[in-house]
Amino acid sequence: MRGGPARWDDADLEGLVNAESAHKIRAARRQAPDVLWVLPECWEACALWRRVGHQLRYAPTGRVIGLDYTQLVAVTELQAIPEAQRAALFDQIQLIERGALAEINRK
């Protein structure tokens, strides 16, 4: 994604996961360098974004202004996501949304 963070290098990877996981991630990157890798602790938020990421609100000018949060709540209820997990997921969804909006509205 343009304007986003640079790809993590091996030094960053060592700080995020244990040595065994870092080794597996490096091996997977060599096999498929163009694949977007998602850390396991981020997977549920990414899966939720795939379900709601198209439920966007638009300004009259056509510019995307953000996610329709009522739809996010509805989907978390339909998916029976425990209420205790929803706040953390909401925070992660907002981070994904911020990056998506920056890319969508970039001109």
Listed by start position, the domains of the chain span 1-37, 40-104
Structure confidence by residue, pLDDT tens digits, 23-50: 888 888 888 878 777 878 888 999 999 9
Tell me the pTM.
0.68
Please state, rounded to an integer, the average pLDDT across all residues of the chain: 83
Percentages helix, strand, coil for the chain (3-state, rounded to 5) are: 60, 5, 35
Q: What is the mean pLDDT of residues 65-69?
A: 94
CA max distance for the chain: 50
38 or 87: whose pLDDT is higher? 87
3-class SS string, 7-68: CCCHHHHHHHCCHHHHHHHHHHHHHCCCCCCCCHHHHHHHHHHHHHCCCEEECCCCCEEEEC
Distance CA 61, CA 52 (A): 22
Highest mean pLDDT among 10-24, 30-44, 84-98 belongs to 84-98
Distance CA 80, CA 30 (A): 37
Which tokens hold the place of 86?
């929803």
Structure confidence at residue 6 (pLDDT): 42
